[in-house]
Structure formats: structure tokens, C-alpha cells
Structure 1
Amino acid sequence: MRSRSLRRTLLPLLAALVLAACHNKDEATQVGGSTPEAAVQGSIDLLKTGDFNGLWKHALPAADYATLRTDWSRHNANRPPVSATDKARFNAAVQKLTGPDAETKLYAEVRPKLDQMQQQYKDQLPVLVAMGGAFLKNNVAQNQTLDSEQKAQADSLVDVLTPWAQQAPWFDQARAKQAVGVLVATARKLDLKSPDQLRSMDFDTAMTQYASGYAGLKQALAIYGLSVDDALASTRLSTVSNQNGRAVVKIDYTLLGKPLSAETTLVQQDGRWYSESLVDNVRKAHEQLQQPATTGSVSAH
């Protein structure tokens, strides 16, 4: 009797959990979110996996996503060609990072420099980092595109990262060797042949490269004690406001053991919710791309 009663209790619960898990998975693969919180959670889930193509597709209405893809290759069209000097520097850097036995050679070059820097900057590092934090806060204060809430959030983030940067074992040889290994592995995975390749990269290729670079960056930061994955896993969402097709969602998370929060605004379109800032950025970038052509056509007349 107890076994039958237990099954009656557990089976509906398990079914509900499975349905919830499937629902959350579906949210991350759909365009937009069914609710503001679902939209944000979907973006966080995609960021966890480093799926930048999926992230853009989820956070933007279909028309804006299509605009982003179309405009991608146009951003560098009017930039001057890469100079021979810059090409030579790029090739030398790539060769150093991807050549035979690159890990051993690069670490042999870094090791004495670390010893030198430790002797020279160990006592000064906390002061230098504090100065850097103050500089960042000043830039945030002067930024005209951030509102007061965003500036407060940025200041809180700097307040958490500054003590970490002051105390992180930057001069530790074992960690440096690990970091060099991550850097070399990431460079080889990116497989960049020339700076021109960076400019001619299509959207899908660029997103794949971003994912590789992001994975390498997370590994490197984790070596020095900062886990991006832990911060993403700690997120908790709550809706601050939701009216007239515009909602604000609060994101509470933990970074380096410290509680932090941020707010993000979403807009509703055709029953789905999208990131307001990403939509605005894509549309403004598109308008700027149209401007040279408009100016040229006017001046031609």
C-alpha cells in the first residue's frame, strides 16, 4: 500500500519536473520568450553553452535577427585595408601561438618575465588595481548612455572585481603554465590565417569563433579563481514591472561569493518578449550603415 501511495505521489511530481525541463529547453530554442522571465532565462541558458548565434536569434525578433545577419559583412566594407606592418605582426603572433611546441616555447618566454614582474610589481599591484577600478568608475559616471540604475550596477561589479584582481595569483608559475596552455589551445581552435579573414568572416563563422574565444576566456579566468559558469548558474529572476508591452526583470546572482543584481528591460512583439537594448542596438547600427549610402547619393546630385 505504501509503495502504491508513494508512486501516486511521485509520478505526477516527476512528470511535472520533466515538463518544466522541456519547457525551459524549448524557451532557449525559440524566438523570444513566452514571458519576460522566460526570455531572460533562455538568454542565460544560451550564454551558459556559448551559443551566440542562438542567443541573438532568441533575443531578437525574426526581422531584426535577419537584419543583423545581412548587415554583418557590411560593417567592415568601408574600412581601410590592413597595412603590411599589421599583417606581419598578426602573422608573427599567430605563429607564436599555434606553431610546433608552442606551449613550451611560450611558457619559457613568460616564466622569467613573471619572476621579474613579481619582484617589481607585487607590492604595487593592489594600488595599481585600485587606480584601475577608480578609472573604470569614473568612465561609468561620465557615460551618457547609461542610466543611474545601470551605473550603480556597474559600480557594484567593479567593487567585487577589484579585490579579486588585487589578490589573484597572477604571478603563480603553475597557473601561468595552465593559462598558456588554454591560450594556445584556443588560438589553434580559432585557426585564424590572416587579419583579412577576420573582416571577411560571415555571421555564422563569426559566432562559432566567438564561442571558441568565450570558452577559452572562461577557462583562463577560472584558473585565477573567477568562475563565469558559477555566476551564471547562480542567477535568480524576478519581474519588477510589466505593463503596456514593456517589462523589467531583475537578475540576482553571485560573483566571487558576493551577491549582485542587474536589471534588464524587455519589449513585447507579436506575443513574444525580446531584449530592448539588443533590438535598439541592431536597429541603430542598421541606420548608421544606411547613412553613408544616403549621404553619397545626395552629394552625387
Structure 2
Amino acid sequence: MRPFSLRHAMLPLLAALLLSACHGKDEAAQPGGSTPETALQASVDLLKAGDFNGLWKHALPSADYANLRADWSHHQQDPRPITAEDRARFNETMQKLTEPDAETKLYAELQPKLASMQQQYKDQLPVLISVGEALVKSGVSQSKTLSDAQKTQASNMIDVLAPWAQKTPWFDQVKAKQAVGVAVTTARKLDLKSPEQLRTMDFDTSMGKYSTGYAGLKQLLAIYGLSVDDALNSIKLTPVSSSNGHAVVRVDYTLLGKPLSTESKLVQQDGRWYSEDMLDNARKAHLQASQQPETPAGNASSAVTKD
């Protein structure tokens, strides 16, 4: 009787696991989360997958997501004209990255430069990175858009990333060759034809390009020892408080072997939970976009000036 009893005792557990898995997929497919923790976890999962369209769709109420899509052309506008020099530089860069046998050609061009740079900057690089660290920290502390909690979190991350950057073998020939391969593959997948394209892509196209670029960036960082997925996989969420439609969740994670933590504030709307910061930023961006005048066809973003 034991095998039969054990099998039947496992059925409720298996059913619970299956329901939990289905519920997790359902959370990611809906705006917000049924709890503060599921809202955050679904966002983490979508970020890990590089699904930026899905991330925005999940992280914002339906009306705010619709506004984001409708406002996208305003967010893409740049009053600075594209010059002939800009276009020439863009075309040259993309040609080098996408032409046949680009990996071999670029690495052959880079290899002697790496040896020279290693000889010239090997001892100076840690000092330069320290100076950069101080400048970035100063910028964070003086930011008018970051909250005190966000400033603290950014500073803690810089404290972890700076020593990694100082010790990373940036001039290593093998790693550089791998990095060139990733850059070429990513550029080909992006398939960018002109600088104007960067300013005229619709929301869905932009999110697709972001996903491609993000995947390439993660591969590049992994080559030099920084795994974004490892950091995302290490995230643990712990509820801190919840009352009157507001909640706080503690977020613990590991970055480059160092434990870090922060707190995320969430707000409940129509029975679903959303990141308070993301929602506030999205609504401020929508208000700003709605106050901008419509730009007529043939605007400055597509103009060309001659030097």
C-alpha cells in the first residue's frame, strides 16, 4: 500500500506546483500583479527575458501603457538636426560592423591597438576608473530625479562595479575577439539603415531593437565576468509592509558575489499592484509629451545641415 499512498500524497503537491507555474505566467501576461511580490517578480522575469514590450505592458495599467505607446513619437524627437558628418560616421560604423568577414577585419584592426593600450594604460586604468567612480557618484548625489533610496542603491552598486572594472582584463586578446564577435552579431541583428531610422521607429520596433541590444550587452558583460542573469536570478523578495493600497517590498540580490539590498514601493490600482516609481515616471512623461506642440512633417529631426 505504501507506493499507492505516497503517489496519491504527492498529487496535491504536484497540482500546487503546476498551478503556481501557470499563475506566474498569468501574472506576467497581465498589467500589474495580484500581490506586490508577484508584480515585482514578473517584472524581473520579463527583464531577464529581454521582453521590454511585455515589461511595460505588465508594469503599467492599461491606460498608461496605451499613453506610452501613443506618446512614443514625442519621446523619440530630437531637435538637433542630423548633419552630414553624423550620417557619414553612422554609415562608416555600421558598414564596418556588418560587412562580410567583419569579425576578422575588426579584430585585425583592434589587435595592435590593444597591445599598445595595455602598455600605455595598464597602470593608469585603475586610477582613471577611480576618478570616473567619483564623478559618477557625484552625479548621483546631485541628481534631482532620483529619490534618496535610489541614490543609496546606485551608490552601493557603484561600490561593487568599480573594483570589478579596475580588475577586469579589458585588453585581453581572447576576450576582445569574443567581444568583437558579439558586437558584429548584434549589429547585424539590429539592421539599422540610417540615423533617421533611430528617430522614426514606432514603439513595437523600438522595443524589438532594445531587446536585441540588451541581449548583446549581456553577452559582452558576461565575457568580462559580469553576469546580468546571475544577478537577476539571485533576487529574493520579502514583504515589509502593506496598508491602504501602498506596500513596501525588500529586494535582496547578489552582484558580482556581493550581497546588496534595496526596497521597492508599490501602489495598488483597480486591485492590481504596480511599482510606484515606474508609474509616476510614466505619468510625468505623458504629461510632458501632451504639452509639446505637434512637430510638422519634415522637421529638424530629419533635416541635414552641411558643415
The interval holding the TM-score normalised by the smaller chain is over 0.9
Runs (4+) off by over 4 Å: none
Please report how far the alpha carbon of residue 212 of structure 1 lies from its aligned counterpart in structure 2 after TM superposition.
0.2
Please report how far the alpha carbon of residue 76 of structure 1 lies from its aligned counterpart in structure 2 after TM superposition.
3.7
Distance in 2 between the 1:59 and 1:230 partners?
22
Distance in 2 between the 1:155 and 1:75 partners?
28
Aligned residue in 1 for 2:203: 203
One-letter amino acid of the structure 2 residue matched with residue 114 of structure 1: L
Aligned residue in 2 for 1:297: none
One-letter amino acid of the structure 2 residue matched with residue 93 of structure 1: T
3-state SS in 2 of match to 1:79? coil
Contact 2:50 2:215 in 1 (8 A): yes
Question: Do the aligned partners of residues 75 and 151 (structure 1) sit closer, same or farther apart at CA in structure 2, a change above 3 Å counting?
Answer: closer
Question: Do the aligned partners of residues 170 and 27 (structure 1) sit closer, same or farther apart at CA in structure 2, a change above 3 Å counting?
Answer: same
For 1:60-71, what aligned pairs fall within 5 Å after superposition? 60-71=60-71
Query: How does the TM-score come out when normalised to structure 2?
Result: 0.93
CA deviations 1:61-88 (Å, max 9, x no partner) are: 0000000000001234462431111011
One-letter amino acid of the structure 2 residue matched with residue 246 of structure 1: H
Distance in 2 between the 1:176 and 1:80 partners?
34
Aligned residue in 2 for 1:298: none
Tell me, which stretches of 5 or more residues in structure 1 are unaligned?
A: 295-301
User: What is the RMSD computed on CA atoms of the aligned residues?
Assistant: 1.3
Please report how far the alpha carbon of residue 262 of structure 1 lies from its aligned counterpart in structure 2 after TM superposition.
2.0
Aligned residue in 1 for 2:176: 176
Distance in 1 between the 2:191 and 2:115 partners?
31
Contact 2:34 2:272 in 1 (8 A): yes
Distance in 1 between the 2:30 and 2:70 partners?
20
Aligned residue in 2 for 1:119: 119
Distance in 1 between the 2:196 and 2:64 partners?
27
Please report how far the alpha carbon of residue 127 of structure 1 lies from its aligned counterpart in structure 2 after TM superposition.
1.5
Aligned residue in 2 for 1:22: 22
Aligned residue in 1 for 2:5: 5
Distance in 2 between the 1:287 and 1:152 partners?
28
Query: How does the TM-score come out when normalised to structure 1?
Result: 0.94
For 1:115-264, what aligned pairs fall within 5 Å after superposition? 115-264=115-264
Aligned residue in 2 for 1:290: 290
1:107 aligned onto 2:102: no
Please report how far the alpha carbon of residue 146 of structure 1 lies from its aligned counterpart in structure 2 after TM superposition.
2.3
Aligned residue in 1 for 2:57: 57
One-letter amino acid of the structure 1 residue matched with residue 292 of structure 2: P
One-letter amino acid of the structure 1 residue matched with residue 284 of structure 2: K
Distance in 2 between the 1:276 and 1:149 partners?
13
One-letter amino acid of the structure 2 residue matched with residue 79 of structure 1: P
Please report how far the alpha carbon of residue 55 of structure 1 lies from its aligned counterpart in structure 2 after TM superposition.
0.1
Distance in 2 between the 1:117 and 1:185 partners?
25
3-state SS in 2 of match to 1:193? coil
Aligned residue in 2 for 1:79: 79
Contact 2:183 2:216 in 1 (8 A): yes
Distance in 1 between the 2:161 and 2:4 partners?
53
Please report how far the alpha carbon of residue 10 of structure 1 lies from its aligned counterpart in structure 2 after TM superposition.
1.7
Please report how far the alpha carbon of residue 145 of structure 1 lies from its aligned counterpart in structure 2 after TM superposition.
2.4
Distance in 1 between the 2:56 and 2:292 partners?
26
Greater shift in the superposed pair: 106-115 or 77-86: 77-86
Distance in 2 between the 1:58 and 1:81 partners?
35
Contact 2:52 2:211 in 1 (8 A): yes
Please report how far the alpha carbon of residue 96 of structure 1 lies from its aligned counterpart in structure 2 after TM superposition.
0.6
Question: Do the aligned partners of residues 139 and 26 (structure 1) sit closer, same or farther apart at CA in structure 2, a change above 3 Å counting?
Answer: same
3-state SS in 2 of match to 1:145? coil
Question: Do the aligned partners of residues 245 and 155 (structure 1) sit closer, same or farther apart at CA in structure 2, a change above 3 Å counting?
Answer: same
Greater shift in the superposed pair: 46-55 or 75-84: 75-84
Contact 2:249 2:263 in 1 (8 A): yes
Please report how far the alpha carbon of residue 116 of structure 1 lies from its aligned counterpart in structure 2 after TM superposition.
0.7
- Residue-pair matches, total: 294
Q: Percent identity?
A: 68
Query: Relative contact order: is structure 1 or structure 2 higher (C-alpha 8 Å, sep ≥ 6)?
Result: 2
Aligned residue in 2 for 1:32: 32
Contact 2:78 2:199 in 1 (8 A): no
One-letter amino acid of the structure 2 residue matched with residue 149 of structure 1: A
Distance in 1 between the 2:94 and 2:204 partners?
22
Tell me, which stretches of 5 or more residues in structure 2 are unaligned?
A: 295-307
3-state SS in 1 of match to 2:260? strand
One-letter amino acid of the structure 1 residue matched with residue 131 of structure 2: M
Please report how far the alpha carbon of residue 163 of structure 1 lies from its aligned counterpart in structure 2 after TM superposition.
0.9
